[in-house]
């Protein structure tokens, strides 16, 4: 795969995440019962940034947790690069909370399906909303995001990579082509 | 790091990285066991067969709990009540289990090498739950997991293993695993219970219990397997306790935070004093809890490995 175009840079990613933070607060009328849950790996850092922004806007702390969905995947037999399982770290009760599930890229929807199963084992939230930095289309399940940083329609031979400062050294979203 | 082995037969053949992958995976499974719903669907639709040729309660129950928390179906075969009594060979039993379309066999056998032989003859995943005097890899992994949880690291630790080293698969697996991760291992026992050539595995040998404890960060106490003493060569129980038993008096003289482990079942007043087994140094029951997480990790990893090990 070779890089075709850079879609977002540090500034545009920053603006998108800031807008999503405002949208979350608008839709939920503030921070009451609000919790953020980031999906490993990069969703965790986007969730942490959203928590920071919400704190800056409303001056309220919103709990942020980490979800590892490996045990809930339906494609473990299919993928060759097995993911290393890491801990789920949600140290608050999710029952009756409004959960904002956060991931970097929304694609087939299977990761989110697994995340919904994982959350169901941890409690019964009042609602679950989905925030993603990139929606690249090609859904295989009836799942749609509530908050989107940027919609990027992709072709089958293209791939999206999100790089974040916390994991990759710099903020950017690139489109790759076979 | 990718797990590529169809089976877990021992720690001797594993790399440092493979052992570390099992330990990291076990950490996430420990979190699962702390939830109200202690179950994940990772092995849904898979069948695990516990095939035990030796009496065992704790290991079998631990594997059973582990498999069930992964949503697998579990079948227990105790050979006293099976066709093995009618003369069926291990390989035939294995092939029959394979024909039932099971996915994983967890085997405990009194012959060293039995798990490896079974693994060569079936395509199922085979997990060694103890073979003769050879290895008991999941016990060593849970010992190492517990140590790492308590002390934050394995590298550079001094670990002493005390007791019947000669007949102990737990000792062998621990020596392999601990030395690969950079710990210094000392074994301590009456001379007759120290096997020849154990130094070649990387362990230091001593017959002086106080010397074995002196620098130790942790001591792993093994049960005296008196039932194996066919030649009446073992010291008697009282004599053993006096010379090698882990007592408060002995622990009072060494590192004040020394950790005391025991794979169970414990024999109070023979290899370990009651006050020590129940005291603040003891992590014996935590080992039992951690055993489930470690076994979940092992079952999960071997079930994922669709390529046979090279």
User: Is A3 inside any structural domain?
Assistant: no
Mean of pLDDT values over A46-54: 97
Mean of pLDDT values over B15-29: 96
Instruction: Give the model confidence (pLDDT) of B103-148 as tens digits.
Output: 999 999 999 999 999 999 999 999 999 999 999 999 999 999 999 9
Residue B8 is given by DSSP the state: B
User: Is A172 inside any structural domain?
Assistant: no
Supply the ipTM of this predicted assembly: 0.74
CATH number at residue A40: 3.40.50.2020
The larger pLDDT score, comparing residue A81 to residue B158, is at B158
C-alpha count within 13 angstroms, C-beta hemisphere, residue B190 = 18
Kindly state the helix (H) or strand (E) to which residue B15 belongs, with its residue range: none
Give the domain ranges of chain B.
Answer: 16-135+289-304, 137-284
How far away is chain B from the Cα of A30, in angstroms, using its nearest Cα? 29
How far away is chain A from the Cα of B41, in angstroms, using its nearest Cα? 6
User: Is the pLDDT assigned to residue B74 strictly greater than 90?
Assistant: yes
Residue A106: pLDDT band with limits 50, 70, 90: very high
Q: Which of B18-32, B33-47, B196-210, B218-232 has the lowest mean pLDDT?
A: B218-232
Partner-chain contact A122 B35, CB within 8 Å: yes
pLDDT at site A80: 57
Instruction: Give the model confidence (pLDDT) of A112-129 as tens digits.
Output: 999 999 999 999 999 999
User: Is the pLDDT assigned to residue B187 strictly greater than 80?
Assistant: yes
Residues of A in contact with B28 (CB under 8 A): 68, 70-71, 85-88
Mean of pLDDT values over B211-239: 87
User: How far apart (Å, rounded) are the C-alpha atoms in residues B121 and B139?
Assistant: 25
Residue A151: how many other CB atoms lie within 10 Å: 12
Judge whether B34 is closer than 8 Å to chain A, CB to CB: no
In sequence order, what are the beta bridge partners of B227? Answer: none
User: Is A4 inside any structural domain?
Assistant: no
Mean of pLDDT values over B289-310: 84
pLDDT at site A128: 98
User: How far apart (Å, rounded) are the C-alpha atoms in residues B263 and B256?
Assistant: 22
Q: Which chain A residue lies closest to B28 (C-alpha atoms)?
A: A87
Domain that holds residue A122: 12-157
Give one word for A120, left, alpha or beta, with left for phi > 0 and alpha for psi -120 to 50: alpha
Q: Find all residues with CB under 8 Å of A111, minimum gap 6, and list them.
A: A39, A69, A73, A103
pTM, whole model, 2 decimals? 0.88
Instruction: Give the model confidence (pLDDT) of A54-65 as tens digits.
Output: 999 999 999 999
C-alpha count within 13 angstroms, C-beta hemisphere, residue A53 = 19
User: Is A78 inside any structural domain?
Assistant: yes
User: Is A86 inside any structural domain?
Assistant: yes
pLDDT at site B307: 45
Using alpha carbons only, give the angle B2, B3, B9 rounded to the nearest 5 degrees.
155
What is the CATH code for B16-135+289-304?
Answer: 3.40.50.1370
- State the architecture of B137-284 in CATH terms: 3-Layer(aba) Sandwich (3.40)
């Amino acid at each position: 795969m070779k890089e075709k175009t850079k879609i977002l840079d540090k500034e545009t990613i920053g603006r998108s995440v800031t807008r999503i933070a405002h949208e979350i607060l608008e839709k939920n009328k503030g921070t009451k019962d609000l919790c953020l849950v980031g999906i490993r790996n990069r969703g965790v850092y986007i969730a942490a940034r959203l928590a920071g922004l919400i704190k800056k806007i409303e001056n309220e702390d919103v709990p942020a947790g980490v979800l590892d969905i490996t045990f809930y995947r339906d494609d473990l037999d299919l993928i060759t690069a097995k993911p290393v399982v890491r801990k789920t770290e949600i140290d608050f009760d999710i029952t009756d909370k409004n959960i904002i599930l956060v991931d970097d890229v929304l694609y087939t929807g299977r990761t989110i399906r697994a995340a919904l199963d994982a959350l169901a084992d941890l409690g019964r939230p009042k609602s679950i909303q989905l925030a993603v930095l990139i929606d690249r289309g090609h859904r295989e399940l009836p799942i749609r995001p509530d908050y989107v940083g940027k919609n990027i329609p992709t072709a089958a031979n293209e791939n999206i990579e999100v790089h974040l400062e916390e994991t990759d050294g710099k903020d950017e979203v690139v489109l790759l082509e076979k | 790091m990718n797990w590529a082995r169809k089976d877990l037969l021992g720690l001797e053949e594993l790399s440092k990285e493979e052992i570390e992958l099992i330990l990291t995976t076990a950490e996430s499974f420990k979190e699962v066991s702390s939830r109200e719903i202690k179950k994940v669907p990772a092995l849904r639709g898979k069948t695990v067969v516990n095939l035990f040729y030796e009496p065992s309660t704790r290991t079998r129950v631990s594997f059973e709990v582990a498999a069930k928390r992964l949503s697998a179906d579990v079948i227990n075969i105790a050979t006293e009540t099976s066709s093995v009594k009618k003369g069926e060979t291990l390989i035939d039993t294995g092939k029959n289990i394979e024909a039932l379309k099971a996915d994983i066999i967890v085997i405990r056998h009194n012959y060293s090498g039995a798990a490896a032989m079974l693994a060569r003859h079936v395509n199922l995943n085979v997990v060694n739950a103890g073979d003769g005097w050879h290895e008991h890899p999941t016990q060593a992994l849970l010992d190492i997991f517990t140590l790492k949880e308590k002390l934050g690291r394995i590298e550079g630790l001094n670990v002493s293993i005390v007791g019947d080293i000669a007949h102990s698969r737990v000792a062998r697996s621990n020596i392999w695993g601990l030395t690969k991760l950079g710990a210094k291992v000392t074994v301590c026992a009456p001379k007759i219970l120290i096997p020849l050539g154990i130094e070649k595995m990387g362990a230091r040998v001593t017959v002086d219990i106080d010397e074995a404890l002196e620098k130790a960060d942790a001591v792993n106490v093994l049960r005296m397997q008196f039932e194996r003493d066919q030649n009446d060569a073992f010291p008697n129980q009282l004599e053993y306790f006096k010379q090698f038993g882990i007592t408060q008096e002995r622990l009072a003289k060494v590192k004040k935070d020394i950790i005391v482990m025991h794979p169970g079942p414990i024999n109070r007043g023979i290899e370990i004093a009651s006050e020590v087994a129940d005291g603040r140094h003891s992590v014996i029951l935590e080992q039992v809890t951690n055993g489930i997480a470690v076994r979940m990790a092992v079952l999960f990893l071997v079930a994922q490995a669709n390529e046979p090990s090279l």
